Structures are given as structure tokens and as C-alpha cells.
Structure 1
Amino acid sequence: MYHDHFGLREAPFLITPHADFFFGGANRSALLDALAYALAREEGLVKVSGEVGTGKTMLARVLIGRLPPQLRAIYLADPLMDRRELLAVLADELGCADRAGDTPHRLLRAVQEALVADFASGRQVVLLIDEAHAMPADTLEQIRLLSNLESERHKLIKIALFGQPELDVLLDRPDMRQLKDRITQHFRLDPLEPDDVAAYIDFRLRAAGYRGPVLFGHAAAARIARDSGGLTRRINVLADKALLSAYARSAHSVTAADAQRAAADTQTRADRPAGRRPPDSGRLALSALVACVLVGAGYLLGRHLPGDAGTRPHMSPPPEPAAAIAASAPPVETQASSPAVREPAAETSHPTPTEDALEALLARSREWTGTAPGERWFIQLMSVPANRADHVPDYVRRAGRAIDPQQLRAYRTDTPAGAQIAVIWGDFADRRSALRAVDELPGWIASARPIPRQLRSLRTDG
């Protein structure tokens, strides 16, 4: 919406990782170089841990492009697979699936032979595992066994684990000590310091094509730094909404008031104590935020915007205002409050529409997962921790516009790192059919590296 107004060629604050928007400041570039160096040497296992939203997936994606040519990267975005499925995915990536059998032993043998052939031709494989904290313990044990594969003097496969701090907790368990002992390099990705947030915002804007003076004032950047806690995903959400607020005012700079409106809408203050209400000056009516998108009507907070409102197309208010204001942001709670609006009633335990949609999806999915033959196959598209389950209904709605929505399902499973919600799709007679369907998925879905799974394995996840 605001691209032309600010001279942008694309959205600067999407939360989807894109290598062109990798911020090398705040020691990110140094960490990337250290990772590439560690994997290029004879290191077997390296680990990167960091809080949700610090940029681990972005780091992994950029790392793939920085590895030396003799290292071939295999990226696994979805850790919810058993050890046989892990080996089947590796066999498929290494081109030896046709020679592999169905048992873990035969799959491992085929993978080992392919790795030996790669090594003989001067290449080694680097396995990058994202969300490793959610990987089942049995599969992590298979990772340890893979790290044992070696020639006379060299490792046949190098492995990098990316995960939330729960990964550190998981590796401290007594039954994980053998895996932990094989990790030779431990890296930590920390949130941005307040002084780095302004540089990060400016970098993202210029990567998106902005060529003007500094767009976010010092006070605006400081407010976003405080409300985001330095987490890049939160920074992106807040900066995007602050830009929209400035655009609604027909302004060409972002002020602290714009950042305040963004914070009031998203309510992601990282330093706000539990149970404490934000100050009145930090809250904004939901109707005011809806007005930010009604630029065609020419009003903001009940006042006409400067300029000819008739030159802009009219936009009707959508049924979900928060989603309209930040279409690229995850669903967030909103709170309405202003002198002209009655204070909302106290919170109740009633489920939100998002929670209702998720529960309906899970209930409908259980009909298929509970009755279909265990030999059937499906495609696992993505998974998120249960505390981020609000992402799932939006993902399903978007995916349903690109693939058959009747085949979209979800299920909940428990892992050593906590509960997960996974989105799955399809109903196939065999793995080959599922693989063909994977090849036909839209690019934005395929970028998460979906994997075929057999229904029998899903029934053992819990």
C-alpha cells in the first residue's frame, strides 16, 4: 500500500526470511563467517540457538549461499519426522531413494554409500536442521549416528542444528549427552541491542529500494527497540505498522507517535510486566488504527487528510482490522480504547475466532487421521510450536487459495521440546505419488521443504 509513497520497490518488513534482507550488523556477519568456517573445517556438529524471532532461519538460508563450493547443503525446515523418514528424505536428496529399501537399516546403508560417492568426487554434504528443538529424541539419536559416518580420516556429513533455547535444555538431558559431546561449536544468536535497531530498520528500507533521508526518527526507532525487545521479527511487524501510520498521515517520516500506534495495535511490549496495563498515552483506539487503511475515504481519527482524497481508491474496512493493517504480520490481539470509545469489558475465557478456527480444523482433521488406512501418504507442509498456533488458520486460508482446501488438515503432537501444531495436505496411495505432488506445490509452500509422510507414522507421534 505505501510502497510508492516512500519510493520502495518491495515490502521492507516481511517476516518471511529473504537473503537480500540479511542484516550483517550486531555481529551477525561475524557469526555467519564463523559458522561457514566451522563447517568448512573437519567439524562434525555445530549448534546455533536463539530466542523466537532472532533470525535463525534467515541465518541458515544465507549460510547456504556462503558455503564453499565443495560443500553441498541439504536444508530441513520441518523436524517433525521419525528416524526412517529422516533417512528417506536424505536418500531422496542424495538421489539414492530408488536403491534404498523401506527399513532404517537399508536406508542408512544407501545414504552412506551416496555420501562415500560424494566424498570420492570431492564433495561433502552439510545437513542444516531448522527448529531442531522440536525434533523427536529418537530422530536426534539418528542424527548422532549420522555424525559417526566417516572415511578413514574425514567426516562424510557435517551437521548444523538451529533451534530455540529449548534445544540447549534438551541437550542437557542425560540421554542426550552422547549427542551433546559431538557438538564442537556452540553459537548463540542474541536479540539486537537498542543502538542496533535503528541501523537494522534503515538497512531493511534501503534493501527494499528506499533512497531518501533517514525515515524513522530517533524517538521512533527507540520506541520500536523497547517494544520489540530487539527481536527482529517483532521489529519487522512494528516497523511495518508504523510506516502505514505515517502513510495515512501523508507524512514522509515516521515519528514516535507512529511507533506508539503500532505498539498499541500489536501489544508486543517485551518489557511490560505481566498484569500491568500500559499507560493511557500508549494506547490507541482500534477505530483509529482501522482509519489508517481508510485513506481513500480521506479521514484519520475523524479529520480529513491533506490532499485530494478522490485521487486514491476507496477501501472498505475489512472484517478483521488488525490483519488488514499488517497483512504480512502474524495475527495479534488488538485492544480498543480512546476517550470517544467505552473502555472494553474485562477479559473473559471465551475463545477467539482464531482459536475456534484452529479447533474446528483439528476436529475435522481427526476424522481423516483416525479412519484412513495407515498405508496412505500425506505431505507435511509446516509446523509451529503450540504457543504460535495462531499462525495456523491464516496459513491454511492462504494455502487453500493455491491448493485443494478440502485436503488441508492439521494435527497436534508432543515432542521433547513441547507441543507442536503441524499442517498437512493430501491423501496419496504411495510415496511416489506424494513426491510428485510435492514437486507441483506453489513456490512459497515448497520453500519450507515439505516432506511426504505415511499416516502410520503420524499415529505414533503422540
Structure 2
Amino acid sequence: MYLEHYGLNEPPFRITPHTDFFFSGANRGATLEALLYAITHDEGIVKISGEVGSGKTMLCRVLMERLPASVVVIYLANPSLSREDILYALADELGIPPLDNSRPATVMRALQEKLVELYAEGKQVVVLIDEAHAMPVDTLEEIRLLSNLESNRHKLLQLVLFGQPELDVTLARPDMRQLRERITHNFRLEPLVQADIAEYLDFRMRAAGYRGPSVFTPEAVRHIAKASAGLTRRINILADKALLASFANGSHQVDGQEIEAAIRDAEFSELPKPVRRSSTPGALLWAAGGAVTMLTLVGIWLFATRPSEPAAPPSPPQAVEPPPPPEAPAVPENASATPLLDKLLEESRPWLETVADNRWFIQLFTAIDANDPAQVESFLANIRNAGLEMGQVRVYRLTSGDKPRYGILYGDYVSRQEAVNVLNALPPEAKRYHPYPRQALRLKLPGKTMNKD
């Protein structure tokens, strides 16, 4: 109804997953890259958990699109399958002749033979199980047994569980210990914070064809952040209702008034209290074969941890006085405290304004709240000292509300795969903030020319 009013090609805030609208910010893009690597290079079970409406199904759909052609993907959307039914479902998906009257052991043997056959053809079979939190305990136990299917050296079946926090509660049970210990990678989709929500709203509008200034005011973003609890499904519902209200009022901007009306109409239910989690961080450490060994490609934090209290320093000897500190070199009165940052901000502007939307680069660094530009300066100095080609480094600065945001990009590539290849070879100093490939289409800066070449 409001598409023409805003110059949109399609609705920007549909709640059904549409992979063209996958938001790679808020660590979603890095999580996807980590998932791709974990699935194609590992042998354990992978688990992704998140609250209702946090974007798990969208992530699953994008993952299915991004997996290489050598991967046979089986998607199970019905979590209520019994332990026998899940075997029949897998057999059916793999084209095994009907085994309705066969014993589970017979079906399992047929599955193993088919998986060995596919493995010999260079194929990998991945099973994506949505809504895994609703699975019966017996079916989860069958998942564990399926993870035992293997050749002499490799697992024949890769299993990925997508579920709500209730899945973590189930896996914490004593009788689930064996399955829990088979899970080698745990990912958690955290809610979006207010700054991410502003970027998310702008991204979805532009992905739908909008080309004007930001539609949602800072006040509207604050209201959405509070009412949605950072969950993308709720954000979509509120944004869609607010756009409709703004259209009805003849306006091209969404303010707090429209959001308040959308909140009243949505009538969201209370969210459950967060599940208590272990304080151990889940960092993903990878190793890539070949001539070059990588110690870390992407680290995904599954949840925040509190740093331990520092130990009290020992008392200094009374008889020894510390030497006087060296005199700091004199700094010219008008000298900038961030010369490298200032230089790159200026040099990056022409490229940022003219880069074609279909080009790719590597997002090295994003500061959500960069009130201290010295942090950015320090990172730039570190990657320069590590030997990174500074002519390929671009820096931009945005203002979200009243807070400055900095981003550091690297390279200019014709394809995502080319960007990934370069990312893999980056020195550790450049991977400090978990870089990921990004397309120029997703980088919407004030004054940027929208090139389609």
C-alpha cells in the first residue's frame, strides 16, 4: 500500500525470511562465515540458539544458499518427529527406497551405505534441523547416534541444530551429557542494540529500493529498540505498521508518534527471562590446511562474560625509589592526535563515493560508539606495522544519533570468494576485530553515489 509513497520496489519489513534482506551487521555476517567454515571443515555437531524472532530461520536460509555445491543439504522443519521418523525422513531425502516396514537398525544401515556412497563421490551431507528445542528427548538421542556415522577418517553426516534457549535447558540435563559433549561449536544470536537497529532499518529500506534520507528518526529508533527488545521479527512488525501510519498521515518520515501507535497495535507478549548460561566464552578456533596455517579465522562470542578481578599488586620495596619517567617528546600545539586516521579519512572519500554496489571488500573494524578515535588510530597503526598494504585501507565515519561510528575497510574485489581468499591470508593483527566479507551495496554512506555498474 505504501510502496509507491516511499519509492520502494517491495515491502522492506516482511517477517518471512527473504535472503536478499539478510543483515550482516551486529555480528550476523561474521556468524554466517564462522558457520560456513565450521560445517565444511569440522566433524562435530553445531548448535545455534536465540530468542524467538532473533533471526535463526533467516540465518539458516542464507546458510543453505551459501554452502558449496558439493554439500547435500537436508532441511528438517518438523521438530516433532519421533526417533524412528527422523531416520525415515533422512532416508527419503537421500533417495533411499521406502523402508516403512523396516526396523530402525535396518534403516540406519541403509543410511550409512548411502552416506558412504556420497562420500566416495566427494559429497558432504549436512542436516539442518530447525526448531530443535521442540524435539522429543528420544529424538535428540537419535541425533547423537546419527553423529556416530563415519568412515575410517571422517564423519559422514554433519548436524546443525537451530533452537530457542529452551534447547540449552534440555541439553543441560544430566541424561543429555553425551549429546552435549558432541557439540563442538555453539553460536548464539544476540538481540540488536539501538545503534544496530538504526543501521538495520536503513539497510532493509534500501534493500527494498529506497534511496532517500533515513525515514526513521532517532526518537523512533529509541522507541523501537525498547519495545522490540532487539528482536528482528518485532522490529519488522513495528517498522511495517509505522510506515503504514506515516503513509496515512501523508508524511515521509516515521517519528515516535507512529511507533507508539504501532506498539499499541502489536500487543507483544512478555519475553521469558533469559536462561542462565555458563561463564565460559565460546570462541571458535580454526586451522586451515595447505602451505599457510591459520590459527584463528573468525571468533564468535556466544555470550558476554565478566572479566575477573585483577590481583592486587605487591607492595614496592621501601628503600628503592622508582626512576623518574622519561620526558615525553614535544608535540606541536596544532598537531593532530590521530594523524593516520585523519589522513585515511580524507583519502578514502573518493573511493567511498564512487565504488560500485556489486564490489566486495573486507570489513576490518566497526566501532559502535567511537568517542575515543585513539582506538581507531591504534588499530590502524598495528595493521600498518603488520605489513598490511595501507593503500587498500579505507576509513569512514558516521554519526548515529549523537555518537560517532568508525569503520575500516580493506581491498576492492569483484567477488565474495576473492574477498574471502584475501581475508584468509590476513595477518593476526588485522583479524583482531573478526573481519568478514561485505558487499558495497550494504555500505550506505551519506553522499555515496549509487553505482550499478
TM-score range, shorter chain: 0.5 to 0.7
The amino acid across from 1:124 in the alignment is Q
Partner of 1:160: 160
| d(CA) in 2 for partners of 1:113, 1:271 | 45
* Cα deviation code 1:150-191 (max 9, x no counterpart): 000000000010100010010011111110010001111110
User: In the superposition, relative to structure 1, how do residues 118 and 99 fare at CA in structure 2: closer, same or farther (>3 Å)?
Assistant: farther
Within-5 A mapping of 1:341-356: none
Counterparts of residues 169-188 of structure 1 (less than 5 Å)? 169-188=169-188
Q: Distance in 2 between matches of 1:101 and 1:115?
A: 21
Task: Show the counterpart of 1:78.
Answer: 78
Question: What is the identity percentage for the equivalent residue pairs of Structure 1 and Structure 2?
Answer: 59
Alignment partner of 1:90 is 2:71: no
**Which whole-Å CA distance do the structure 2 matches of 1:6 and 1:25 have between them?**
24
Q: Which amino acid aligns with 1:119?
A: Y
User: In the superposition, relative to structure 1, how do residues 154 and 42 fare at CA in structure 2: closer, same or farther (>3 Å)?
Assistant: same
| Structure 2 residue aligned with 1:400 | none
Matched to 1:110, the amino acid is A
Q: How does 1:17-32 map to 2 (within 5 A)?
A: 17-32=17-32
Contact 2:197-2:221 at 8 Å conserved across structures? yes
Deviation per CA, 1:29-78, whole angstroms, max 9, x where unpaired?
00010111111112220101111110001111111112223222111111
Question: Any conservation in 2 of the 1:88–1:97 contact (CA below 8 Å)?
Answer: no
Aligned to 2:43: 43
Q: Give the conservation status (yes or no) of the 8 Å contact 2:171–2:177.
A: yes
Q: 1:296 aligns to what?
A: none
Matched, 1:206 2:206: yes
Contact 2:88/2:99 (<8 A) preserved: no
Q: How far is the alpha carbon of 1:8 from its aligned partner?
A: 1.2
Asked whether the equivalents of residues 228 and 270 of structure 1 are also in contact (C-alpha less than 8 Å), the reply is no
Q: In proportion to residue count, which structure has more helix?
A: 1
1:268 Cα deviation (Å)? Answer: 2.9
Give CA deviations for 1:83-138 in whole Å, capped at 9, x if unaligned.
11111111111011346753211211111111111000001101010110100111
Q: Would you say the 8 A contact 1:13–1:204 is kept in 2?
A: yes
The answer for unaligned runs of 5 or more in structure 2 is 274-453
Contact 1:227 1:270 in 2 (8 A): no
The corresponding residue for 2:64 is: 64
Letter in 2 for 1:60: C
CA distance in 1, matches of 2:229, 2:7: 29
**Would you say 1:124 and 2:124 are equivalent positions?**
yes
Q: Which amino acid letter does the alignment assign opposite residue 152 of structure 1?
A: N
Code of the aligned partner of 1:184: T
Q: Is the 8 A contact 1:100 1:106 kept in 2?
A: no
- For 1:265, give the aligned amino acid: D
Please name the residue that 1:219 is paired with.
Answer: 219
Amino acid at match of 2:90: L
For 1:207 and 1:76, how far apart are their aligned partners in 2? 29
Partner of 2:196: 196
Which range moves more in the overlay, 150-159 or 101-110?
101-110
Distance in 2 of aligned mates of 1:19 and 1:9: 16
Amino acid at match of 1:204: R
Is the aligned partner of 1:103 residue 2:94?
no
Aligned residue for 2:214, secondary structure, equals coil
For normalisation by structure 2, the TM-score amounts to 0.58
TM-superposed CA distance for 1:269, in Å, is 8.0
RMSD, aligned α-carbons: 1.8
Q: Is the 8 A contact 2:44 2:185 kept in 1?
A: no
Provide the rounded CA distance (Å) in 2 between the counterparts of 1:203 and 1:246: 19
Equivalents in 2 of 1:24, 1:149: separation in Å? 34
Instruction: Supply the distance in 2 between the matched residues of 1:270 and 1:196 (Cα, whole angstroms).
Output: 22
| Map of 1:413 onto structure 2 | none
State how far apart, in whole Å, the 1-side matches of 2:136 and 2:97 are.
23
Distance 1:100 1:261 in 2: 54
Specify the SS of the correspondent of 2:73. strand
Aligned residues: 273
Show structure 1 runs of 5+ residues with no match. Answer: 274-462
CA–CA separation in structure 1 for the residues paired with 2:269 and 2:83: 40
More moved, 112-121 vs 90-99 = 90-99
Is the 2:49–2:162 Cα contact (8 Å) retained in structure 1? yes
User: Could you tell me how far 1:219 is from its partner in structure 2?
Assistant: 0.9
Instruction: Tell me how far apart the structure 2 counterparts of residues 102 and 11 of structure 1 sit (CA, whole Å).
Output: 48
Q: Contact 1:47–1:187 (CA<8 Å) still a contact in 2? A: yes
C-alpha contact (below 8 Å) 1:129/1:160 kept by paired residues: yes
The letter of the residue matching 1:56 is K
Contact 1:263–1:269 under 8 Å retained in 2: no
- Rg bigger for which structure? 2
Q: Secondary structure at the match of 1:206?
A: helix
